[in-house]
Amino acid sequence: MENIILIKEEIDCDRETAFNMFTKNELLENWLTVKAEVDPKVGGKYELFWVPENRESNSTIGCKITGIDRDKFISFDWKGPADFESFMNSADPLTHVIVFFSQNDSDSNKTIIHLFHTGWRNDSEWQRARNYFKNAWSKVLRVLKDKITDKTLP
């Protein structure tokens, strides 16, 4: 389990809202990416673009949703940015992200997000990519938390 990234963050919204933040294109575009093309069903696209005019680089183009249960969890393939694309984006299988949403037992307007990122190999390049994503996921979940707390999302 040492290669699995696990990030936990509590955010000030119900599970439906938290789930929508990962599945609705316009919401993803407000906290995680510049352009999102997500089709929230098993086998549907989970494509995020940080430089939309260069769709092949710095994107998750070709990634698919591998599991989904409304307001409970979503899982999808994941690719790396340009620094890691030479090994991450051609790996078989790709790395994999699973996001669980659980309601805070004492407050139904708080959701605990558990994000797991798996599929990391053991060599030094992969470990460098894993460290990058451990930091990146922590940062973006804090961005999500702050935007929801500040009510700066549509």
Q: Report the pLDDT averaged over residues 134-140.
A: 97
Interval 68-111: pLDDT, tens:
999 999 999 999 999 999 999 999 999 999 999 999 788 778 99
Residues in Cβ contact with 106 at an 8 Å cutoff, skipping those fewer than 6 apart: none
- The whole-chain average pLDDT of the chain stands at 94
pLDDT tens digits for range 70-82: 999 999 999 999 9
pLDDT of residue 104: 79
153, pLDDT greater than 90: no
- The domain containing residue 33 runs over which residues? 5-150
Radius of gyration of the chain (CA): 15
**CATH number where 144 lies:** 3.30.530.20
Compute the half-sphere exposure of residue 98: CA atoms within 13 Å on the CB side of its CA: 11
pTM of the full predicted structure? Answer: 0.94
* Mean pLDDT computed over 124-137: 97
The count of structural domains within the chain is 1
Structure tokens at 88: 């991450």
Q: How far is CA 127 from CA 59, 106, 119, 121, 133, in A?
A: 20, 38, 11, 7, 10
- What is the C-alpha separation between 128 and 117, in angstroms, rounded? 14
Q: Does 13 have pLDDT greater than 80?
A: yes
What HEC string does 13-64 produce?
CCHHHHHHHHHCHHHHCCCCCCEEEECCCCCCEEEEECCCCCCCCCECCCCE
What are 116's two structure tokens?
Answer: 């797991």
